[in-house]
Structure 1
Amino acid sequence: MTTNNSRLDVIDALRGFAIASIMLLHNIEHFDFYFLPAGLPDGLKAVDKVIWNSLFFLFGGKSYLIFALLFGMTFYIQYHNRERRGEDFRARFAWRLVLLLGFGLINSMFYHGDILSIYAVLGLALIPVARLSNRWVLAIAVVLLLQPYAWIEFIQALPNPNQKLGDPASWAYFGIANDYFAHGSAAQVWWGNLTNGKMGVIRWSWENGRIFQIPALFMLGMLAGRKGVFKEDSQAFWLKVLLIASLVFIPLYLLKTWPEAWSVGQAVQRPLLLIVTSWSNMAFMLVLVATFCLLFYSQRWLAIFSPLGRMSLTSYVVQSIVGTSIYYGFGLGMYKYTGASFAMAIGIVLALLQRQFSVWWLARHSQGPLETVWHRMTWIGSGTLVQAKN
């Protein structure tokens, strides 16, 4: 028995675009090893600053949201395909998330900023809402996007708004990580990432509101699937999204960029800044998605990203393995020599190589190597052969 093999090309291309943008960000960050090389000429430092600020403006805090949106969309496709056969996909999806957690933990050995393991845990939120009406799913997503815990912190801070706050707890973990990134063996890095690094990333995700934002995007992606907004006849929808998201983003970005203009104490400013930043990133993510979809329908050359998108799991894990081997001390140690401009050049080359590998592989196989393992393990014990590309 086979699932419906139809898939929306724009989804593959958009997922590939997100992978490429993540590759660029991870490279200029030296895969979370923030280090400014000594002795760079002033002119190159200026160029590096422009590149750093530009890439983070475009993709920082947005690319992973695109991934989350498409994760929810993919869940809908899989759930809907099984529902049409009178089957309930939710138990199989839970097992699929267990498998994703395994991939995520392997990836976390190389790159502690791994998002797969976090998606695997938070993806469980889709199971109880899968059969709810659109109105209820949207309401739950909106509540999560409002960042409820940050509002609790804001209210708690009101009696003493000028209270001095300590550094976020995640910083201590990242400070420890910098030492083994620079001087540790491969084994020390892998163990450190799975223990110290993983705890730091979980705490950082909580401190920055991603624990609420990610499942909200999963649900919005599921709703996007129900509404069919990624079909080619949805240009009017995406034009409206582009206009509204742009108008919302501008004031939020200004507020986020100059929080000192708020004239409030630190205890009040921190949760408010988290809220504004998460909303700003959400708005600009929608600008990116809407722009990409509108261009894709008229500029089919954007399909060049599709091979990366069809092999997004493989591409994501491979970039962690290769990237950390390039920048960390146990490998080539390029963190010592590369500012943002050189690191971006490396990222572009790696993205092009990944894309060409994906083209070569998909000419011979229906799925990427890790996608094939994930798919076969998902349906193990089902007694049926299920061929699906999502």
Structure 2
Amino acid sequence: MKKNFVFTSESVTEGHPDKLCDLISDAIVDRFLQQDPYSRVITECAVSTGIVFVAARFEPNANVDFTNVARQVIGRVGYDRFEFNGKTCSILTSLRELPPDKDRFDEKNLSDAEIEQIPVKNIVNVFGFACRQTSSMMPLPIWLAHKLAKQLTHVKLQNILPYLAPDGKTQVGIEYRNSKAYRIHSISVIASQNSPSKPDLNRLQDDIRTTVIDPVFQDEEIRPDAQTRIFINPDGLVIGGGPALHAGVTGRKNDVDTYGEYAKHSGSALSGKDPIRIDRIGAYAARYAAKNIVAAGIADECEVQLSYSIGLARPVSIQVETFGTGKVADEDIAKLLEQHFDFRLAGIIKQFNLRFLPSLTKDGFYKQLAAYGHVGRIDLNLPWEVTDKMEIF
């Protein structure tokens, strides 16, 4: 395990084309589950100049206007220029109805034995991670990158910097010494703007530093110092950005959705899937386990891997890695997870109430996860962020 190193993570705003696709996909999932919590739906999007493509498979037990949902998301994010506009862009759909699910179940009324009979229908390895670098038990680089991206969106939507376009990207590099975060090595912010004439590059850089970077680090324990390298649009002004500049696809920002590549993540997209998909909710269950382990104080860092095979209810493998920080053997921690955590598909859905959260949350639930991370969110009341099983350890 390395002791001294520099690690960087990136985040993007909700107007980034990939995130826009995630938002549309999860908004559609929300709409289905709000009408019927037991709906089955899988949605993927692609965007480019003036075009949105939505592909979906779903059970026809809900009435969802895919085109209208997409236009609402695009408008809310702030795309209202002629290059890309929620009201005028072309929206193409490829929709296929799924046959009725003969294995449909209501997890709320299942016994433990019946939950054991509900198998997963995907082959997948999912990962969860937690550490002591931040109060949210997330790695510091992705935590700060998310804060910068959210602030970049905030100053646009609140008209503090009204000239900004919705598309933006942030990156934070942290210097570690003896495996502990020591200083801010570098900060990068790429902000797009609506007009090539106002403001000029110097004004943009001053505004971003004053209204985005400075407020984000004001309450942080580790702040930029005299040697911190700060880059704000180092290649010059970015005009418009978004789908008019680069295309987007659902599920292409797994590193942003999880741990900023400080820890492993599965190759499967998280957005655009209903709760029956273990490649989505298994990642939440793995994070829940890892966070409770770290919160219990038996490790400073913990990665949990769950491996699932089609036709089985339980993971075929539960692996724990504490990177030399564990006070208990990794094998013993894995045994405790197997005994006290329910990693079965129906068990996860039941414990986290995943089918009903869209109806219980104003304006939907899953689309709130589509930008700024599916894990480590202190701004949302996520059931997999609860540390209610510390006593087990």
Query: For the superposition of Structure 1 and Structure 2, which TM-score range results when normalised by the shorter chain?
Result: under 0.3
What TM-score, normalized by structure 1, do the two folds share? Answer: 0.24
Higher strand share: 2
Q: Which has the higher contact order (CA 8 A, sep 6+)?
A: 1
What TM-score, normalized by structure 2, do the two folds share? Answer: 0.24
Higher helix share: 1
